[in-house]
Amino acid sequence: MTNVDKDFMLERYKYVLEQKKFLNKTTLALLAIYQAGLALVVGAHYRLWTALAEERVSEGFASAASDGLLMLLWVLALFSVSMLISGILSWLDYRHAEALMEDEYLGGSRPLPKIGRLFHWYETYVAIAILAITAGFTWFFCMLRSLD
C-alpha cells in the first residue's frame, strides 16, 4: 500500500468518525426542536381553554382548534421519531464502514452493534419518551375536553 492510499484511508476514517459525531449532535438538536414544539402546543392549548372559559371563543372553534393542535403535536412527534430512526440507521451504516476499515488496516475491530441490543441505545429511550409524552398530553387534553 502506498502512502497516498494510507493517507486516503486515514482521511476516510476521520470522515466516518466525524459523521458519527455529527449524528449524535443532531439527535440532541432534534430533541430540542421537539421540546420547543411541545411547549408551543401546550401553551396554545392553555390559551385556547382560557379563552373558552372567558367565552371569547365558541365551543366548536375550541374543539376544532384543540384537534388541530393535537394533530400538530402528533406530526411533530412522528417526525421526530422518524428522524431518530433514520439517524440510527445512518449511524449503523457509518459504524459498519468504520469496522471494515479497522478490519482491513488494523487487523480487527470492535463487534458491530446488533439491533437486538436496541435498549442499550439512548435514542430508543428518547423515541419512547417522545411517544409517551405525546400520548400523555393527548390523553390529558381529551380528558379536559370531556369535563366540559
Nearest-angstrom CA–CA distance, 74 and 110: 38
Amino acid (one-letter) located at 65: A
Greatest Cα-to-Cα distance within the chain, rounded to the nearest angstrom: 79
Confidence of residue 103 (pLDDT cuts 50, 70, 90): confident
Q: What is the mean pLDDT of residues 107-112?
A: 81
Nearest-angstrom CA–CA distance, 46 and 55: 14
Does residue 148 have a pLDDT over 80? no
Of 85, 76, 145, 140, nearest to 118 by C-alpha is: 85
**pLDDT score for 115:** 78
Does residue 129 have a pLDDT over 90? yes
- Give the model confidence (pLDDT) of 31-66 as tens digits: 899 999 999 999 999 999 899 999 999 999 998 999
Does residue 94 have a pLDDT over 80? yes
User: At 58, is the secondary structure helix, strand, or coil?
Assistant: coil
pTM of the model: 0.82
Does residue 145 have a pLDDT over 80? no
